Amino acid sequence: MPSALITGITGQDGLYLAELLLAKGYDVYGLIRGQNNPKRALVEETVPGVKLLTGDLGDLSSLLRALEVAQPDEVYNLGAISFVAYSWENARVTSEVTGMGVLNILEAVRLYSHDDPAKVRFYQASSSEMFGKVQEVPQRESTLLWPRSPYGVAKVFGHYMTINYRESYGMHASSGILFNHESPRRGPEFVTRKISIAVARIALGLQDHVTLGNLDAKRDWGFAGDYVEAMWRMLQQPEADDYVVATGETHSIGELLDLAFQAVGIDDWSGHVQQNPAFMRPAEVDLLVGDPSKAQDVLGWTRQVDFPGLVKMMVENDLEEQRLLAGK
Ligand code: NAP
Ligand code: F7E
């Protein structure tokens, strides 16, 4: 039975990846931080087959201990401070976890695999935020990186460190440059989930409006369940490499609002949406849209859920959740 260790097990992608690997017969270990992590119960309930190990990406010795227990064939480094807006106010801690944390886990894997550098296959969760001020459209693996947020800068560090460990030590270390991917498990601070929760609550008469920032922002949004499949496929390749994972389509916040409100039968949402500069960012990324050709050709990966299907899935989930919470 192959074994895998996932950092970021309490996050959106950690849960989907754990489900995928358990279904494939893996022995799955998840790294969980803190003495009383509030999301432990969620992980235990959603993926009861996962064995939780305590550790933190900032603590090399905890990572070494986790590797010794899990004896993994594959390590998926999904742990990060991942909210871009937060990264401007907390640039230092974002750099330490999202950037230096990658060095810590790479170094732990290198030390653990000292007898055979390719013993463990390693996945790094890189991001389209690394493209920032985009240098070409669509963005592909060879596009020059120009990050526009402390989060993006930290991800660039982790991305190049992963490539450096592959080239320096012969590690099987791959980096997935994933564009935005969403789901009913998305954190409520991200715009898709913020909107799906608000629309559900508006439809149920629990609130009147939602306050957003830049409505002109555009993103290449896919479904997280599809994207963890690409992560796994990367680690099944004979050679480690880097891949863009995206839909190849871009949509605005306005289009997202159209679809979300349509899902609850509201055609004109103008009275339900307000704007507040507090949700604007010091710098925005430009036209983010990825070219997934390499992932399609080499990994045989294709997305299953399209943008309207994703928005409908999220709003329907939040209608159900908010109804239960409100006792309706
Ligand atoms: P997420 O829901 O925000 O999850 C982040 C995870 O990182 C959580 O489990 C969190 O644990 C953990 N974490 C935070 N600080 C840590 C630390 N010091 N040590 C160990 N773990 C720590 O993120 P996601 O959406 O699942 O994304 C997974 C990864 O892909 C992240 O690296 C993200 O940056 C990257 N990514 C995401 C997207 C996307 O659109 N979702 C796109 C590209 C790349 P706690 O619960 O304890 O805080
Ligand atoms: O913002 C605009 C905002 O916070 C999307 C992370 O997973 O994907 C994610 O980062 C857009 C931005 O995601 C609000 O200005 C408008 O242009 O949902 P988001 P993100 O910043 O794209 C990348 C690929 C990652 O790697 C990250 O980890 O939406 N926007 N109004 C707003 N965004 C938020 N959050 N809230 C608003 O009210």
Predicted confidence band at 246 (pLDDT cuts at 50, 70, 90)? very high
Residue 286 CB coordination number (10 Å) = 14
Q: Ligand 1: which residue has its CA nearest to atom 43?
A: 127
Any ligand 1 atom below 6 A from CB of 82: yes
Any ligand 1 atom below 6 A from CB of 11: yes
Q: Does domain 187-219+249-288+305-326 have CATH number 3.20.20.70?
A: no
| pLDDT at residue 278 in the model | 95
Which ligand 2 atom minimizes the distance to the CA of 284?
Answer: 17
Q: Ligand 2: which residue has its CA nearest to atom 22?
A: 180
| pLDDT at residue 285 in the model | 87
Q: What is the pLDDT of residues 105-133, one digit of tens each?
A: 999 999 999 999 999 999 999 999 999 99
pLDDT > 90? residue 172: yes
Any ligand 1 atom below 6 A from CB of 133: no
**Whole-Å CA distances, 51 to 6, 22, 30:** 10, 11, 6
Predicted confidence band at 284 (pLDDT cuts at 50, 70, 90)? confident
Percent with pLDDT over 90 in the chain? 98
What mean pLDDT is predicted for residues 199-216? 97
Any ligand 1 atom below 6 A from CB of 176: no
pLDDT > 80? residue 286: no
* Span(s) in the chain for CATH 3.40.50.720: 3-181+222-245
80 contacts 98 by C-beta, under 8 angstroms = yes
CATH number for the segment(s) 3-181+222-245:
3.40.50.720
pLDDT > 80? residue 268: yes
Average pLDDT score over the chain: 97
Q: What is the pLDDT of residues 20-66, one digit of tens each?
A: 999 999 999 999 999 999 999 999 999 999 999 999 999 999 999 99
Ligand 2: centre distance to CA 112 (Å):
36
| pLDDT at residue 50 in the model | 98
Any ligand 1 atom below 6 A from CB of 183: no
| pLDDT at residue 157 in the model | 99
Percent with pLDDT over 70 in the chain? 100
* Span(s) in the chain for CATH 3.90.25.10: 187-219+249-288+305-326
pLDDT > 90? residue 287: no
**Catalytic annotation, residues:** 127, 129, 151
Q: Please, where are the H alpha helices in the chain? A: 12-23, 40-46, 60-70, 84-89, 91-94, 101-112, 150-169, 191-203, 224-235, 253-262, 293-299, 307-326
Ligand 2: centre distance to CA 106 (Å):
28
Residue 296 DSSP symbol: H
Ligand 2: centre distance to CA 212 (Å):
11
pLDDT > 90? residue 218: yes
| pLDDT at residue 197 in the model | 98
| pLDDT at residue 54 in the model | 98
What's the rounded Cα separation, in Å, for the pair 81 and 159?
A: 15
